[in-house]
Amino acid sequence: MEKRIADLLSKKQYNVYDLAEIVKILRSENGCPWDKIQTHQSIRNDFLEEVYEVIEAIDYDSEEMLREELGDVLLQVVFHAEIETEKGTFDLDDIANDICKKLIIRHPHVFGDVTADTVDTVLNNWDSIKKETKGQESYTDTLKSVPKVFPSLMRAQKLGKRASKANMDFKGVDDCFASLKSEVAEIQEALDNGDKSAAADELGDLLFSCANLARKLGVDAEELLDRANEKFLKRFEAVEKQVLQDGLDMASLDLETLDVYWEKGKLSEK
């Protein structure tokens, strides 16, 4: 152990295998008390958080931040691989081997004799090969393969996209928008009948319809909602600043007064 640590400390530049060795040491008997008791389940949410931080780095267009956060994601991959290495099931090389094979199989237009001159052709080939290699025998199988842990809007949009492969789809934006308006009417009907449970169900259908409309418009529903969240936060902050400048407290104002401030804030954005 001491020699392994000394060898690592003497290095000026590290690689992914050095990272694997560090994780192995941390999980060893004389390693870190925290690291050596972790499981896939105990660090599951850590992995998710690190991926979100990579996305944030991309959104900020920060190369420095992206480099750091990709390192944190790589650590998660290596950590999970080490847990399985200890169990004797697979290791980091097996993971690399599998993804290399997958990339070669799914790019026959690069590594084989298949012709694919357009992006659409490439994507269609990818879907066909994926369906075959994963043993998906029906369109339903392709829908079921969309992970349940995806954010709900993202999952809804992917379900709609895959259903469209079976021609189960709206003809166009107008039909999709008509369905959306129909869902709104059904929510109102349920509320008029005093049935909150039914209204909640219809609200779920409305959200699903919104995801389909986004897909038909060629935009990402998850990104749209994120932008709307940021817009709301920015406007709320502007309203609060103005209210404070007027020597008032938001919580003491009625909704009509706050709406006036809100509209003023919207006008200032133009």
Give the per-residue SS3 of 72-120.
HHHHHHHHHHHHHHHHCCCCHHHHHHHHHHHHHHCCHHHHCCCCCCCHH
Please report where in the chains the tokens 């107008």 appear, as a residue.
174
For the chain, the residue count is: 270
Nearest residue to 91 (alpha-carbon basis) of 16, 33, 26: 16
Nearest residue to 72 (alpha-carbon basis) of 109, 138, 19, 35: 19
Tens digits of residue pLDDT in 57-101: 999 999 999 999 999 999 999 999 999 999 999 999 999 999 999
pLDDT at 270 exceeding the cut of 70: no
Tens digits of residue pLDDT in 195-218: 999 999 999 999 999 999 999 999
pLDDT > 70 fraction of the chain, expressed in percent and rounded: 100
pLDDT at 1 exceeding the cut of 90: no
Mean pLDDT value of segment 114-130: 87
Domains in the chain with CATH codes: 2-103 (1.10.287.1080), 106-135 (no CATH), 146-219 (1.10.287.1080), 224-269 (no CATH)
Which letter, b or e, does each residue of 66-98 get, where b requires 16 or more Cβ atoms within 10 Å of its Cβ? beebeeeeebbbbbbbbeebeeeeeebeeeeee
Mean pLDDT value of segment 29-52: 95
Q: What pLDDT does residue 131 have?
A: 82
Q: What pLDDT does residue 15 have?
A: 95
Q: What pLDDT does residue 32 have?
A: 95
